[in-house]
């Protein structure tokens, strides 16, 4: 497992990040009788196996325990205290804390439902991994205390990490081996993905004045040396890309120019001056310096890995990608039903209704995707965000902070709208990419997980 990812995931657990996992079931939600929520409680999950010390007892989260969890959530977002109920941030913070608490309870319930258990040694190892991200015991204690957590809280989150990883691994490992025939079908249906287009290196003159191009042609047909091309292009060409380079343009692929020039370039022999050729943008003269034909990688070709790993057969790359897609589909299916099943067992008090409560009827602010900023990975936003919690570490010059001070990252409660949380969904969103020819990109790891508050860096 990548140490960097492990560090960030565990740090997120230390600071109370809700565990969001890419797994779930395809069974329909079970309609059971709804339990009442006592006046001193905020929610009841109708499964008494849901026990989380300091949060849930026999599936019930009390107001006292929730207030403690709300205070932790505020601290993990860099707040000194929970805002007053009149503060607009209060409801957002409360809704996030409620949704996160339910996620934790659901995950613990799912572990019981699947009969998962872990040894004291396994839990200790997970706890040790959390602590190992800090240079000293003092740093760890400082971060833990500033997040409002106790040792018992951290050990519970270490156990939650084990549950999450186990469920995800079981779902991913349930996907069988991809057959040779299925890989071959994919290859035959997607051959364009394994085709490297023809390329040309050319020298070219462009000018809207055909007479200028004809004068250039006369000079080049008398002497088409690189030195003369440099003089002629500088004198006659208006192509800003190449006129100062002797008209040279490399790695030209089909479709780079308007017709009929594009076809003429790919039909012309090498080392012969051609023209004039007229398009709507001007008149051209050109010479093909070198030509590389189109190449289709065969199903059994061995190609280098774009990620720097060992070379692989195209067929093996396809099998890996198909398996990755099937794992994503299995994880997505599990997530859909996981939410449905546990929502059907969850009742919340009227002042604590959020998505995830079976008696939640919607309403409240909605998230406008058109107003969202870019995603944390630099691409377009994929939609309304899940609850976001800050992750914290000791500051340093590299991170723009000061040594000895806890530096927290993550936008806190403000980006997430009530009802926007979706536990157990693929982190990347959408369908996995198809396999690429060598050097043309890579695909994400199957079943990648996303923990709110992790922004990388």
Same domain, 272 and 390: no
3-state SS, residue 254: coil
pLDDT tens-digit readout, 8-20? 444 444 444 334 3
Q: Does residue 285 fall inside a structural domain? A: yes
Same domain, 161 and 270: no
Q: Does residue 307 fall inside a structural domain? A: no
pLDDT at 298: 87
Residue ending a domain, choose from 231, 263, 293 = 293
pLDDT tens-digit readout, 285-320? 999 999 999 988 888 888 776 666 788 888 998 898
- 214 exposure class (CB count in 10 Å sphere: 0-12, 13-18, 19+): middle
- 160 token code pair: 């939650």
Q: Does residue 72 fall inside a structural domain? A: yes
Same domain, 174 and 285: no
Same domain, 232 and 346: no
Same domain, 43 and 170: yes
Confidence check: pLDDT of 243 > 50: yes
Same domain, 157 and 22: yes
CA distance 170 to 116: 11
- 451 token code pair: 């923990």
Q: Does residue 301 fall inside a structural domain? A: no
Q: Single out the residue of 273, 266, 210, 269 nearest to residue 247, CA to CA.
A: 273
pLDDT at 113: 95
Is residue 276 reached through a cis peptide bond, with omega within 30 degrees of 0 on the bond before it?
Answer: yes
Question: What confidence tier does 33 reach under pLDDT thresholds 50, 70, 90?
Answer: low
Confidence check: pLDDT of 322 > 70: yes
Same domain, 212 and 128: no
Q: What sign results for the dihedral spanned by CA atoms 52, 53, 57, 61?
A: negative
The pairing of strands 199-207 and 248-252 is antiparallel
Same domain, 30 and 164: yes
Domain holding 21, by residue range, is 3-178+313-409
Helix (H) or strand (E) holding 93: helix 88-113
CA distance 211 to 217: 10
Same domain, 9 and 150: yes
Residues in the chain: 457
Q: Single out the residue of 379, 395, 390 nearest to residue 428, CA to CA.
A: 379
Q: Single out the residue of 227, 247, 228 nearest to residue 237, CA to CA.
A: 247
Residue ending a domain, choose from 258, 293, 328 = 293
Same domain, 361 and 266: no
Residue ending a domain, choose from 390, 409, 428 = 409
Contact of 359 with 348, CB cutoff 8 Å = yes
Question: What confidence tier does 278 reach under pLDDT thresholds 50, 70, 90?
Answer: very high
Number of domains within the chain: 2
Q: Does residue 443 fall inside a structural domain? A: no
The pairing of strands 295-296 and 302-303 is unpaired
What value, to the nearest 5°, has the Cα angle with vertex 339 and ends 336 and 341?
Answer: 105
Contact of 423 with 338, CB cutoff 8 Å = yes
pLDDT at 42: 96
pTM over 0.85: no
Helix (H) or strand (E) holding 289: strand 282-292
Helix (H) or strand (E) holding 164: helix 151-173
pLDDT tens-digit readout, 200-239? 999 999 999 999 999 999 999 999 999 999 999 999 999 9
pLDDT at 362: 67
End-to-end CA distance of the chain: 18
Q: C-alpha distances in angstroms, 400 versus 194, 307, 329, 394, 457?
A: 44, 31, 40, 11, 12
CA distance 152 to 158: 10
Same domain, 108 and 254: no
Mean pLDDT on 403-419 = 34
Same domain, 104 and 47: yes
Stronger pLDDT, 303 or 361, i.e. the higher one:
361
Q: Does residue 435 fall inside a structural domain? A: no
The mean pLDDT value of the chain amounts to 77
Q: What is the CATH number of the domain that holds 218?
A: 3.10.50.40
């Amino acid at each position: 497992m990548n140490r960097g990812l492990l560090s960030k995931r565990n740090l997120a657990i230390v600071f109370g990040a809700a565990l969001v996992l890419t797994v779930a079931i395809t069974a329909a939600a079970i309609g059971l009788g709804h339990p009442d929520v006592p006046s001193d409680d905020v929610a009841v999950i109708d499964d008494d196996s849901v026990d989380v010390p300091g949060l849930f007892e026999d599936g019930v989260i009390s107001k006292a325990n929730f207030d403690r969890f709300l205070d932790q959530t505020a601290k993990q977002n860099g707040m000194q205290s929970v805002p007053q109920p009149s503060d607009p941030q209060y409801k957002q913070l409360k809704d996030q804390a409620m949704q996160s608490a339910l996620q934790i309870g659901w995950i613990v319930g799912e572990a019981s439902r699947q009969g998962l258990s872990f040894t004291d040694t396994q839990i200790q190892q997970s706890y040790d991994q959390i602590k190992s991200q800090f240079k000293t015991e003092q740093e760890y204690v400082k971060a833990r205390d500033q997040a409002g957590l106790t040792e018992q809280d951290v050990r519970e989150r270490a156990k939650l990490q084990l549950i999450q990883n186990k469920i995800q691994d079981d779902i991913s490992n349930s996907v069988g081996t991809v057959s040779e025939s299925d890989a071959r079908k994919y290859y035959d249906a997607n051959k364009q993905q394994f085709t490297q287009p023809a390329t040309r290196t050319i020298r070219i003159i462009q000018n809207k004045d055909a007479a200028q191009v004809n004068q250039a042609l006369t000079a080049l047909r008398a002497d088409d040396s690189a030195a003369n091309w440099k003089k002629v292009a500088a004198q006659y060409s208006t192509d800003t890309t190449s006129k100062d380079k002797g008209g040279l343009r490399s790695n030209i692929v089909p479709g780079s120019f308007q017709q009929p020039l594009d076809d003429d370039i790919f039909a012309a022999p090498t080392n012969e001056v051609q023209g004039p050729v007229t398009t709507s943008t001007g008149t051209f003269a050109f010479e093909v310096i070198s030509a590389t034909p189109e190449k289709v990688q065969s199903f059994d070709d061995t190609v280098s890995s774009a990620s720097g790993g060992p070379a692989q057969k195209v067929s093996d790359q396809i099998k890996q990608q198909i398996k990755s897609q099937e794992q994503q589909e299995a994880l997505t299916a599990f997530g859909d039903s996981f939410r449905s099943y546990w929502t059907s067992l969850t009742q919340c008090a009227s002042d604590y209704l959020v998505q995830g409560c079976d008696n939640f009827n919607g309403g409240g602010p909605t998230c406008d995707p058109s107003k969202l900023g870019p995603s944390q990975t630099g691409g377009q936003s994929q939609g309304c965000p899940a609850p976001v919690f800050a992750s914290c570490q000791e500051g340093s010059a590299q991170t723009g902070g000061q040594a000895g001070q806890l530096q927290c990252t993550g936008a806190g409660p403000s980006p997430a709208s009530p009802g926007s949380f979706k536990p157990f969904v693929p982190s990347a969103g959408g369908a996995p990419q198809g396999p690429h020819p060598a050097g043309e990109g890579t695909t994400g790891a199957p079943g990648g997980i996303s923990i709110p508050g992790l922004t990388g860096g």
